[in-house]
Structure 1
Amino acid sequence: MLTLEKLAVAGRFQPFSAEVAAGSRVHIIGPNGAGKSSLLASIAGMLPAEGQRFIEGQPLSAFSGQALSRCRSYLCQHYLPLSAMPVYQYLSLHQPLGVSPAELESTLTRLCSRLHLLDKLSKAITRLSGGEWQRVRLVAALLQVWPTINPQGRILLLDEPANSLDIAHQQATDLLVAEFCAAGGVAIISDHDLNHTLHHASQVWLMAEGAFIKTGTPNEVLQPATLQPVYGVNFEQHRVAGKSWLMTV
Structure 2
Amino acid sequence: MSILVIGATGKTGRRVTQRLADAGHAVRGVSRPVFDWERRETWAPALTGASAAYVTYSPDLAAPGAPEIVEAFVKTATAAGVERLVLLSGRGEAGAQRCEGLLRAGDVVVRASWFNQNFSEGHLLGSVMSGLIALPAGDVAEPFVDVDDIADVAVAALTDARHAGRVYELTGPRLLTFADAAAEIAEAADRDVAYVSLPAPDFHAALVPEVGPELADLLTALCEEVFDGRNASVTDGVRQALGRPARDFADFCAAAASSGAWT
What TM-score does the superposition give when structure 1 sets the normalisation length?
Answer: 0.31
Flag the structure with higher strand content: 1
Ranked by relative contact order (alpha carbons within 8 Å, sequence separation 6 or more), the top structure is: 1
